[in-house]
Amino acid sequence: MKLRHLKKIRIGVSLLIFALLLLFFLGIEREWLNAASTLLLRLQLIPSILRFLALFFTVSGLGFLLILVLTFLFGRVYCSSICPLGTLQDIFIAAGGRFKSKKKRRFSYSAGSNNILRYSILAATVILWLFGSLFLVNLLDPYSNFGKISVSFMQPAFIFLNNKLALLFERFHIYSIAPLEVKTLPLNVLMVSGVILLTIAGLSLWRGRLFCNTLCPAGSVLSLVSRHSLYKITFKDDACTLCGKCERVCKAECLDSRTKTIDHSRCISCFNCFTACSNDALHYSRLKPSPIARNKEDKAPDKGKRNFLLTLAAGTLSVPLLKNASLAQDLGRPGSIPTGTATPVTPPGSLSFERFTNNCIACYLCVGACPTNVIVPSFFDYGLEGFMQPKLDYHKSFCNFDCVKCTEVCPTGAITRQTPQEKQAIQVGIAHFVQESCIVTIDRTDCGACSEHCPTKAVHMVDWEGLRIPEVRPEICVGCGACEYACPTQPNKAIFVESNPVHLEAVPIQESEGPRDEVLDDFPF
Amino acid sequence: MDRRNFLRKGFIYTSLAGLYASTLGRIPLLALQRPSVPSIGNYDLVAVRGGEPEAMYKRAMQEMGGMQRFVKRGQRVVVKPNIGWDVPSDRAGNTNPGLVAAIVRDCLAAGASRVFVFDNTCDNWQRCYQNSGIEDAVKKAGGQMVPGNLERYYRAVNILGGKRLTSAKVHEQLLDADVFINVPVLKHHGSTTVTVAMKNLMGVVWDRRYWHRNDLHQCIADFCTFRKPDLNIVDAYLVMTQNGPKGTSTADLSLMKSLLVSTDIVAVDAASTLIFGAQPENIGHIRIANEMKIGKMNLSSLNIKRVAV
């Protein structure tokens, strides 16, 4: 196979993966899409590592190992084919190219490898993670950012179009397109997602895959491997005419056509250079690199690795200081949050507040997939360390008793998989009734909206001064928030769910022997 | 033709046409359809017991004078079952899907141009439509499931006869319909004790919370002054006697095998309440609706047909 075809294959594969993941994030339900997307989620580097650890070395979390092996063999093909944010950047680059002059469309080799910057960021990310905060992962991980962008902007746009189309068909009394409830994320969350999107777009339009070689922690991890990968792109000295075409198409700005060297730690294996070269002057093989390049590599110590190790060490030592100083208050833990302020309710299957915040990378797949829209991104509700991680918001909606959608889609294991039966016995919080602000007490009229919606009848109605008033049986309450959502009092609810920082078990509904036979012998009228 | 002739002929033709319309045009038609039932449609309420939902429904409609009495050729019909909850049909949290389908088929057979079915559900609407079995049954019967999940389907109307509920946003399909058939399922309800036909109408408006906030029973009665269903068909086959209106398991149910049909929404609620085992005068909205003369709660004043199948 000619090497120039590799680019076409790469484009095809990356667009396919991008399209599948995007459709999945839009909330489209198809069996094949579920299967394909789940497989692709397992291959996302950082989610996979977290999953492997969160689910105690589960086989389904071994995707990262596959990626590392792949990188060791062929370089950072992950960055150019599998990573959806990488493809999004390529789309920006391609789209931007249409509006740029030919000259400005060219890339040129950048001598600065940004090693100090990228490995410092990686080290800081790792250190914060080791100390229990995914703050930097949530801001920098490419998969997580692809998710944030999809759910913040793509899904609302999709729903808007879907509903317009539905409206059009409804005029002819055709109701085959289901109208969807618009998911609008909180404004502050949208703003952060917007800044992320603009940053990604700006960096890619300015200097190609600069994000991948500076800010991206996944890229930095893989760069440590790709330096030593077996198959590398190298120059054939005799065939090269020094025309420089390869350098102009190198998005990673890692190819120096004058010295005929390639910085393999930055090369994302996009194969553009193969297609650009009209003399087939580039190898992609296990052949030993050209003498010049090898000499250079031999002489130069591996600065990247050193930097990484150094920063890691320095960072690790400084974390205790950080914790005691300025970050201490923001990095709130369940115990350190002042009483009176309810901790956010975490999704069923997340097991505890701490476990959830330690494993959720805020990709918002659950936010987009939740059929009742009860899962919404938070801002500082989990403290700075849990920035933007999702929570259940019972003012917007409530958790469907029989639904386990979020437990099925979560890629990191922050929400563990549950069957409906298992989920129905999970108590994520407990309902508390505030009789002093209930309509029945104040207006002296019947209401019962809370009890009506309660799936377990933990909130049930009892006689009270000629009326019916709610009462809570906490042991069978699952904390789904149906009561809180349905409560019509304003501005505060007369019944609300206080979260369980560690999820508990609710007494499940007893097995039924079926309906009683009371067929009427006669009518009572 | 002079003026006198014109008037004379006009008078004769009009009279003939009127005579045909009032006598010949109707009598042979009715006689052809049900020659053996002389007292068709004279009942205020038909109560059937002892059969399967569809069989009981067929018998009840026969006694009521057939669906043709309510649905004319070319009319748009809205059938409003209870589809409020994400529970399978054996939990009887929603109207029996077979019954809903039978009604849809009947309406179409009577010449309805379209039959729409919807509910503003409490649980997620797609899960309710699907898991209740109603979506599937209605589609197979030739009816059309209509969503009720977005505010855009609801239009604001004034409720002139309402005491507390003076305006509401009502589903457009109901506002545009010629015929409105209400198909509730008889169930226990935590705060209103029972939920039947009147309370089922909470599923045709957008903002239910307003009702809960402003004297629930009064609002339920008030809405009936805006639009009374042309026909109420109560599914009392499997009756939820506790933990209503959603129920927690089939242990909440009692197999009563009954079905009630009436044009009087208050009467059908009163009769259903008695079947449930409560007294109509103890149910706030039934008592209020009776006082507001929306319908009759006192069953002894009504012409009731009781049938066992």
Indicate the pairing of strand B231-240 with strand B185-189: parallel
Q: Name every chain A residue with its beta carbon within 8 A of the beta carbon of B43.
A: none
Supply the angle between the helices A217-226 and A45-54 in degrees, to the nearest 10. Answer: 100
> Where in the sequence is the domain holding B73, given as residue range(s)?
41-308
Backbone angles phi, psi at B297, to 5 degrees: -85, -25
Residue in A488, A511, A518 closest to B212 by CB: A488
CATH architecture group of domain A335-505? 2-Layer Sandwich (3.30)
Residue B55 near chain A (CB below 8 Å): no
Residue A318's pLDDT is what?
A: 56
Residue with tokens 């990191």: A412
Give residue-wise pLDDT tens across range A419-468: 999 999 999 999 999 888 889 988 899 999 999 999 999 999 999 999 99
Residue A512 near chain B (CB below 8 Å): yes
Q: Cβ separation of B255 and A519 shorter than 8 Å?
A: yes
- Omega before residue B245 within 30° of 0, cis: yes
Q: Residues B225, B259: one domain? A: yes
Residue A168's pLDDT is what?
A: 94
Q: Cβ separation of A446 and B191 shorter than 8 Å?
A: yes
Q: Residues B7, B154: one domain? A: no
- Residue A161 tokens read as 């179009």
- b (16+ CB within 10 A) / e for A332-361: bbeeebeeeeebbbbbbbbbebbbbbbbbb
Residue with tokens 């209605």: B138
Reference B181, options B228, B135, B231; nearest CA is B231
Q: Residues B148, B249: one domain? A: yes
User: CA-to-CA distance for B234 and B185, rounded, in angstroms?
Assistant: 6
Reference A178, options B245, B259, B149; nearest CA is B149
Q: Cβ separation of B238 and A515 shorter than 8 Å?
A: yes
Nearest chain B alpha carbon to A463: B191
- 10 Å Cβ neighbour count for A130? 12
Give residue-wise pLDDT tens across range A14-24: 999 999 999 99
Average pLDDT over residues A194-213: 96
Alpha helices in A171-302 (DSSP H): 187-207, 217-226, 245-248, 272-276, 291-299
Provide the chain B residues 58-117 that lie in CB contact (below 8 A) with chain A.
86, 92, 114
Q: Smallest CA–CA separation between B18 and chain A, in Å?
A: 37
**Interface size, chain A vs chain B, as Cβ–Cβ contacts under 8 Å:** 144
User: How confident is the prediction for chain A on average, in pLDDT?
Assistant: 89
| B69 contacts: CB under 8 Å, gap ≥ 6 | B40, B41
Residue B33's pLDDT is what?
A: 41
Q: Smallest CA–CA separation between A169 and chain B, in Å?
A: 12
| B28 contacts: CB under 8 Å, gap ≥ 6 | none
Residue A342's pLDDT is what?
A: 66
Q: Residues B185, B51: one domain? A: yes
- Residue A298 tokens read as 């031999």
Q: Do residues B30 and B42 make contact, with C-beta atoms less than 8 angstroms apart? A: no
Q: Residues B239, B264: one domain? A: yes
Q: Residues B5, B139: one domain? A: no
A106 pLDDT band (50/70/90 cuts)? confident
- Cα dist from A349 to A24, A54, A108, A408, whole Å: 21, 12, 49, 10
Q: Cβ separation of B209 and A443 shorter than 8 Å?
A: no
Residue B44's pLDDT is what?
A: 96
What's the full length of chain B, in residues?
Answer: 309
Q: Do residues A39 and A309 make contact, with C-beta atoms less than 8 angstroms apart? A: no
**Per-residue three-class SS string for A279-343:** CCCEEEECCCCCHHHHHHHHHCCCHHHHHHHHHHHHHHHHHHHHHHCCHHHHCCCHHHCCCCCCC
Residue A432 near chain B (CB below 8 Å): no
- Residue A240 tokens read as 């090269």
Give residue-wise pLDDT tens across range B125-149: 999 999 999 999 999 999 999 999 9
Q: Smallest CA–CA separation between A326 and chain B, in Å?
A: 44
CA A396 from centre of chain? 22
Does A290 have pLDDT greater than 50?
no
Indicate the pairing of strand B179-183 with strand B167-171: unpaired
A2 pLDDT band (50/70/90 cuts)? confident
Residue in B86, B256, B299 closest to A400 by CB: B86
Nearest chain A alpha carbon to B280: A525
Give residue-wise pLDDT tens across range A459-499: 999 999 999 999 999 999 999 999 999 999 888 888 999 99
Q: Name every chain A residue with its beta carbon within 8 A of the beta carbon of B284.
A: 446
- Considering chain A, tell me which residue range(s) the CATH 3.30.70.20 domain(s) occupy: 335-505
Report the predicted TM-score, pTM, of the whole model to 2 decimal places.
0.86
ipTM confidence score: 0.84
Residue in B122, B213, B248 closest to A488 by CB: B213
Residue A464 near chain B (CB below 8 Å): no
A332 pLDDT band (50/70/90 cuts)? very low
Residue A336's pLDDT is what?
A: 30
Read off the DSSP letter of residue B204.
G
Q: Residues B302, B213: one domain? A: yes
Q: Cβ separation of A525 and B271 shorter than 8 Å?
A: yes
- Residue B20 tokens read as 């045909």
Residue A291's pLDDT is what?
A: 46
Give residue-wise pLDDT tens across range B234-252: 999 999 999 999 999 999 9
Residue A330's pLDDT is what?
A: 36
Q: Residues B117, B238: one domain? A: yes
Residue B139 near chain A (CB below 8 Å): no
Q: Cβ separation of B212 and A517 shorter than 8 Å?
A: no
Residue B127 near chain A (CB below 8 Å): yes
Number of structural domains (chain B) is 2
- Cα dist from A423 to A347, A432, B124, B144, B227, whole Å: 10, 21, 18, 34, 42
User: CA-to-CA distance for A157 and A153, rounded, in angstroms?
Assistant: 6
- Residue B35 tokens read as 């020659």
Residue A341's pLDDT is what?
A: 41
Give residue-wise pLDDT tens across range A109-125: 998 888 999 999 999 99
Residue A238 near chain B (CB below 8 Å): no
Does A292 have pLDDT greater than 60?
no
- Residue A52 tokens read as 């492997």
Q: Residues B218, B71: one domain? A: yes
User: CA-to-CA distance for B283 and B53, rounded, in angstroms?
Assistant: 26
Indicate the pairing of strand B179-183 with strand B76-81: parallel
Residue A396 near chain B (CB below 8 Å): no
Average pLDDT over residues A342-371: 94
Alpha helices in chain B (DSSP H): 3-19, 27-33, 53-64, 97-109, 125-131, 134-141, 172-176, 197-200, 208-213, 216-224, 265-276, 284-291
| B202 contacts: CB under 8 Å, gap ≥ 6 | B120, B208, B211, B220, B223
Residue A442 near chain B (CB below 8 Å): no
Q: Residues B21, B85: one domain? A: no
Q: Do residues A14 and A93 make contact, with C-beta atoms less than 8 angstroms apart? A: no
Q: Cβ separation of B145 and A509 shorter than 8 Å?
A: no
A385 pLDDT band (50/70/90 cuts)? confident
A315 pLDDT band (50/70/90 cuts)? low
Residue B248 near chain A (CB below 8 Å): yes
Residue in A173, A447, A522 closest to B191 by CB: A447
Average pLDDT over residues A225-229: 93
Q: What is the CA radius of gyration of chain B?
A: 21
The CA-CA-CA angle for residues A263, A267, A271, to 5°, reads: 125
Backbone angles phi, psi at A517, to 5 degrees: -90, 105
pLDDT tens, per residue, chain B with 309 residues: 566 776 677 666 666 555 555 444 444 444 344 434 444 668 999 999 999 999 999 999 999 999 999 999 999 999 999 999 999 999 999 999 999 999 999 999 999 999 999 999 999 999 999 999 999 999 999 999 999 999 999 999 999 999 999 999 999 999 999 999 999 999 999 999 999 999 999 999 999 999 999 999 999 999 999 999 999 999 999 999 999 999 999 999 999 999 999 999 999 999 999 999 999 999 999 999 999 999 999 999 999 999 999
Exposed (0-12), middle (13-18) or buried (19+): which is B126, by Cβ within 10 Å?
A: middle
A206 pLDDT band (50/70/90 cuts)? very high
Q: Cβ separation of A445 and B217 shorter than 8 Å?
A: yes
